[in-house]
Copies of this chain bind each other. A is one copy, B any other.
Amino acid sequence: MSLEELQTRLREFADARDWGQFHTPKNLAMALAGEAGELLEIFQWLTPEQSTDVMDEPERAEHVRQELADILAYLVRLADVLDVDLLAALSSKISLNETRYPVDRARGTAAKYDKLD
């Protein structure tokens, strides 16, 4: 299933429930950030190494998958109501970052990386 098809499914899901009234860009941005907060809670007390193994335990792996899905759902809904082409936006941003962070200067440097966005 493509991202475009999922966008349509999410729109139909919201429309069928008359939830469009709640889906202002402001509210969707809040919902997205709320889900990002739930994602943080999975990782907050883990060491970096433990965070790498987070999918080893099936129940927690499912929790992670659902949080990633929730974030993507609100991101896609927000792009939909704002009429933003998410894939094109990301493609442009990668091209921009390729110019901003030339390989020879950015290699292994968190200091540069800090300014990624």
Q: Which residues of A contact B (CB under 8 A)?
A: 1-3, 6, 9-10, 13, 16-19, 21-22, 24-27, 29-48, 51-52, 54-55, 64-66, 68-73, 75-76, 78-79, 81-84, 86-94, 97-98, 101, 103, 106-110, 113-114, 117
Contact = CB atoms under 8 A, between A and B. Distances in A.
Interface of A is mostly: helix
A67 to B, nearest CB: 8
Contacts of A9: 91, 94
Contacts of A86: 68-69, 72
Given A30-B40, A71-B32, A21 B94 contact: no
Contact of A79 (B36, B66, B68, B107): B68
Most chain B CB neighbours (cut-off 10 Å) among A26, A27, A71: A26
Copies per assembly: 4
Given A3-B3, A17-B107, A87-B1, A44 B68 contact: no
Contact of A33 (B6, B39, B90, B94): B39
